[in-house]
Amino acid sequence: MAKDTAQDDVFLRDLWYFGIVGDEIKPGQMIQQERLGELILFGRTHEGEAFAMTDICPHRAILLSGGEMVRGETGTEVQCPYHGWRFKPDGQCAFIPSLTEDQTKAMEIDKIRAKTYRVHESYGIVWIWFGYDHDAEPCLPPPTLDIPEDSKVRIFDECDFHCDMDAAVISLMDPAHIPYIHNQSWWRTPKTMHEKQKTFGPIERGFSMLPHKPSSNSFIYKLFGNDITTEIQLELPGLRPEYMKAGDKHVTTVTIVTPVTADKTIISIIIYWNHFAVNFVPKFLIRRAIRIFMGQDSAAVDSQAIGLSYDPPQMFIHDSDIPAKWYLALRRGWEKHRRDGVEFKNPLKEPKTLRWRS
């Protein structure tokens, strides 16, 4: 396999990452996002097709997101704000206004290309592929969730963590911090801590806290009736769907961890449901709860990032830190697999029950 990425690349590749929620780009709109240290312009053609290209103009590097999307001769074109060069969604240059007709022919402007990225839109999310070899075809199909692909995004929110991707993922898989960091009377407190056991099983490139009855000390779950089960999965690179199901009704909260740079990570929370009871919960309350929880986690990992910048050793204890160890093993295993051809093995071979107090 070709490798065009430096050995000190900190990002895990050959994976689909979260790009943007599809609703954020209406036809004819574009928006800049930073992903894996690259400035990316996500856009949607006037016909409704999502695309992604570099936000940096191949001419003289001004940001294309400051320009506009126009209907050119070839269809939707991104017009640079600086000198008006235009690019098709596939990156090909379509027009350089300063050239005379004979200069246009002599220059073969269609050989000029803006870097583009493969995208796939499903579950209301535009996923973006990052490969070790940028030009190689994706080696994986786009992510799948256990809900219909046309499920509507009901709630979407995001939060920046000033830490690397690993610290962010680990914070989401860590049961022991909950009564301390999320210490609020209506949720958990250290006083309500009790012994728990949860069984985990392997899934592709990840693991699952297998379906179980939600914690008895989380009164919020009681809203959804008695036969409710919860399953929480974690799949590389940082996809963490939590399925709450009662019969054929579900509330699915997908938390996605995406590296922006080596030390900035974005946490995106997308909620889907087909459970009528949730329609009666005011959305601003759900948003406020997300903000409270994410704010607590981001304050914790921001503080931890300061500690980690001094390069101390970290301890991972039994059993509450085991999911963190599995994640780190998955990450290392995937990198070795894709970069060195070593067979990928899930660190979790068979279902395993972990016990902790939280």
Per CB under 5 A, residues contacting Fe ion are: 297
**Preceding peptide of 312 cis, ω within 30°:** no
Instruction: Report how far Cα 180 is from the mean position of its chain's Cα atoms.
Output: 26
120 binds, among Fe ion, ligand FES, none (CB under 5 to 8 A by kind): none
- Which of these ranges, 53-61, 119-127, 162-170, 287-295, lies near ligand FES under the rule CB under 6 A? 53-61
For position 62 contacting ligand FES by CB under 6 A, the verdict is yes
* Partner from Fe ion, ligand FES, none binding residue 57, C-beta < 5-8 Å depending on class: ligand FES
- Please select the residue that binds ligand FES; options are 5, 24, 32, 59, rule is CB under 6 A: 59
Closer to ligand FES by Cβ: residue 60 or 345: 60
Q: Closest distance between ligand FES and the C-beta of residue 260, in Å?
A: 24
Shortest Cβ contact with Fe ion: which residue? Answer: 297
- Which of ligand FES, Fe ion, none interacts with 297 (beta carbon under 5 to 8 A by kind)? Fe ion
Whole-angstrom distance, CA of residue 218 vs CA of residue 32: 38
- List the interface residues with ligand FES, window 76-135 (CB under 6 A): 80, 82-83, 85
For ligand FES, give the closer residue by CB, 53 or 170: 53
Q: Pick between residue 65 and residue 230 the one whose CB is nearest to ligand FES.
A: 65
Tell me which of Fe ion, ligand FES, none is bound by residue 62, counting a contact when its beta carbon lies within the kind-specific cut-off of 5 to 8 angstroms: ligand FES
At 107, which amino acid appears?
Answer: M
The least CB distance from residue 104 to ligand FES, in Å, is 14
Give the nearest distance from C-beta 109 to ligand FES in angstroms.
11
Cβ(52)–Cβ(164) below 8 Å: no
Task: Give 182: exposed, middle or buried? Use CB within 10 Å, 0-12, 13-18, 19+.
Answer: middle
Toward Fe ion, which CB reaches closer, 45 or 171?
Answer: 171
How many other CB atoms are there within 10 angstroms of residue 229's CB atom?
15
Distances (CA, A) of 115 to 40, 41, 194, 195, 221: 9, 10, 53, 52, 46
Beta strands in the chain (DSSP E): 15-21, 30-35, 38-44, 50-54, 68-72, 75-79, 86-87, 93-95, 116-117, 119-122, 125-130, 155-161, 195-203, 206-212, 229-235, 239-246, 249-261, 264-273, 352-357
For 244: left if phi > 0, alpha if psi spans -120 to 50, otherwise beta; the answer is beta
Q: Which partner in Fe ion, ligand FES, none is near 109 (CB below 5 to 8 A by kind)?
A: none
Min. distance of Cβ 102 from ligand FES in angstroms?
20
Q: Give the Cα separation of 31 and 52 in Å (integer).
A: 10
249 vs 325 by CB, closer to Fe ion: 325
Q: How far, in Å, CA of 328 to CA of 322, rounded?
A: 10
Outline where 164-279 has alpha helix (H): 165-172, 178-181, 276-279
In one letter, which amino acid is 50?
A
Q: How far apart are CA 81 and CA 29, in angstroms?
A: 15
Binding mask 65-84 for ligand FES (x = CB under 6 A): ---------------x-xx-
Q: Which two tokens stand for residue 129?
A: 């592929």
**Binding site partner of 60, from ligand FES, Fe ion, none, Cβ cut-off 5-8 A by kind:** ligand FES
- Binders of ligand FES: how many residues, by CB under 6 A? 8
Closer residue to ligand FES in complex, CB, 69/236 = 69
Which listed residue (15, 36, 40, 57) binds ligand FES by CB under 6 A?
57
Residue numbers at the binding site for ligand FES (CB under 6 A)? 57, 59-60, 62, 80, 82-83, 85
